[in-house]
Amino acid sequence: MKSLKVNKMRVFFIGVCGTAMGNVAVLLKKQGHTVAGSDRGIYPPMSNVLEEAGIIMFEGFSIADLCNWKPDRVVVGNAVSRGNEQVEYLLSNRNIPFVSLPELIGKNLIGSRPAVVIAGTHGKTTTTALTAYALNQMKANPGYLVGGVPMDLPSGNEFGHELAPFVIEGDEYDSAFFDKRSKFIHYRPRILILNNLEFDHGDIFRDLEDISRSFSHLLRIVPSNGYILRNGDDLNLLGLPDASWTTTLSVGVGDSNDFRIVDFEEDNAGSRFCLVWRGQLISRVEWKMPGLFNARNLAMSMMGAVLADCLFNLKEIDLRNPFSGLQTPDFSSCKGVKRRQELLIQREELIVLSDFAHHPTAISGTLESLRARWPSYQLIACFEPRSNTAVTNVFQDRFADALSHADEVIIGAVHRAEKIPLEKRINTESMIHRIRANGKQGMSFQSNYEVGEYLESINRDTVPSLVVFFSNGSFDGEIDRFIEFSNQS
């Protein structure tokens, strides 16, 4: 296997502070490469991670910084577009090779290693972290890239043994301004995990059929000696073309699944369920992570790790019971990934969580789980429309209905609202009208600072509150501010 690990290089990242870009930059640095990068608005936490790794960072996109550093290769992030000074220089002069980040990962980090690629609309990051954790427990020394901050792994990026499985989340978003294929196409999965499939990323996909087409392309590159693990309860996944050239296994709740989640229940002590392989009890699980959706993430991770470990160690996989003779991973102490149902405060009168969910289905599932765990609390959902899809009106009514699982809904400022045409922009006032029609309380604010002010004014003397922040950002710092205020109260 030829890789950057063998041929040391000087690699420059344009847009280095993106989570994926930063993690790969750190991974290359760990391998002994010389790494630098540029970005605009370099700030923590990624700037701290890069600085601690010894990666040189340039503020802005100066051509002089790029040329004076003399890179052997440039990696262009998918948030970078035409008009960027460094990009225009690369295109005009053609004297420095450049690649997209997914292409670099696929060719130079994964290479010929058995890739475990986790794809789907929801749960990619958590399932990636849990799969890497399971393989670590099995002493497989995997490589992995987690698109977040895992709380059960030493870091979000490790190269591992150069022949061991490499675990990565397969994002369906496009690769770069010059490569409109979905990122996951570059990763060439040996084991493909399909968590679910819904319409998302309305800025690049037209509809469900369009995004399904990209997933069908992914199915076509799973080899005959590979495996597809799919959510057997998801009708959209079941509607994809059959991959008759490889082995497809199903995971879920329904009776027709190969690997089933049985007797799921949860309360404020945690979740409990059994995992059953074609009628045979494999494991009883008790852990702190919430929701049936996370139970499915765990089942996918366990199954994927077992298959990957067998492939790595050249063990024959007996599908009558692939777990036979193996010690199944212990997930009981797992905490998951930061910003995924992350518990920030837990007191008798107040519970606060932060969640990355930016799709109606994910929000609905999280709120249903929180209601089951803490039924006596006033459930307050704070939503910041921030992702490329969430700031539009594509899911406006679905967001309102999902948030209506809470007792009270607080909607903050629409991120970069001025960049979204009014006819396409999410209308938070209309959402509040719908939420009130659903019988719930609701308010929207023009600034996130006002959200923080309102939350601080709530009287919790009579009814304890559970506040959950839904955002793929920071609510302009209001999450941290509310935590600080609550800890001083």
pLDDT of residue 4: 40
pLDDT of residue 197: 95
Side chain identity at 228, as an amino acid letter?
A: I
| Structure-block tokens of residue 416 | 């970069």
Of 33-47, 132-146, 226-240, 440-454, which range is least confident? 33-47
pLDDT in tens, 413-436: 999 999 999 999 999 999 999 999
pLDDT band at 6 (very low <50, low <70, confident <90, very high): low
State yes or no: pLDDT of 462 exceeds 90. Answer: no
Q: What is the share, in percent, of the chain residues with pLDDT greater than 70? A: 99
SS (H, E, C) the chain: CCCCCCCCCEEEEECCCCHHHHHHHHHHHHCCCEEEEEECCCCCCHHHHHHHCCCEEEECCCHHHHHHHCCCEEEECCCCCCCCHHHHHHHHHCCCCEEEHHHHHHHHHHCCCCEEEEECCCCHHHHHHHHHHHHHHCCCCCEEECCCCECCCCCCEECCCCCCCEEEEECCCEEECCEEEEHHHHHCCCEEEECCCCCCCCCCCCCHHHHHHHHHHHHCCCCCCCEEEEECCCHHHHCCCCCCCCEEEEEECCCCCCEEEEEEEEECCEEEEEEEECCEEEEEEEECCCHHHHHHHHHHHHHHHHHHHHHHCCCCCCCCCCCCCCCCCCCCCCCCECCCCEEEEECCCEEEEEECCCCHHHHHHHHHHHHHHCCCCEEEEEECCCCCCCCECCCHHHHHHHHCCCCEEEECCCCCHHHCCCCCECCHHHHHHHHHHCCCEEEECCCHHHHHHHHHHCCCCCCCEEEEEECCCCHHHHHHHHHHHHHHC
State yes or no: pLDDT of 355 exceeds 80. Answer: yes
| Structure-block tokens of residue 314 | 């050249």
pLDDT of residue 1: 36
Number of Cβ within 10 Å of residue 113's Cβ equals 23
State yes or no: pLDDT of 42 exceeds 50. Answer: yes
Alpha-carbon span 30 to 144, nearest angstrom: 13
| Structure-block tokens of residue 369 | 């789980």
pLDDT band at 2 (very low <50, low <70, confident <90, very high): very low
Side chain identity at 146, as an amino acid letter?
A: V
Place of tokens 């040329």: 67
Averaged confidence pLDDT in the chain: 93
Number of Cβ within 10 Å of residue 324's Cβ equals 10
Domains of the chain by start residue, with CATH = 10-96 (3.40.50.720), 103-312 (3.40.1190.10), 342-488 (3.90.190.20)
State yes or no: pLDDT of 5 exceeds 50. Answer: no
| Structure-block tokens of residue 22 | 């930063």
Residue 425 dihedral angles phi and psi, to the nearest 5° = -75, 145
State yes or no: pLDDT of 259 exceeds 70. Answer: yes
pLDDT in tens, 438-459: 999 999 999 999 999 999 998 7
Alpha-carbon span 193 to 125, nearest angstrom: 12
pLDDT in tens, 120-168: 998 999 999 999 999 999 999 999 999 888 999 998 899 999 999 999 9
Number of Cβ within 10 Å of residue 421's Cβ equals 7
Let me know: does 410 contact 442? Beta carbons within 8 Å: yes
Side chain identity at 11, as an amino acid letter?
A: V
State yes or no: pLDDT of 7 exceeds 90. Answer: no
Place of tokens 């002069």: 93
Let me know: does 303 contact 309? Beta carbons within 8 Å: no
pLDDT in tens, 73-131: 999 999 899 999 999 999 999 999 999 999 999 998 999 999 999 999 989 999 999 99
State yes or no: pLDDT of 3 exceeds 70. Answer: no
Q: Which residue has the higher pLDDT, 461 or 151?
A: 151
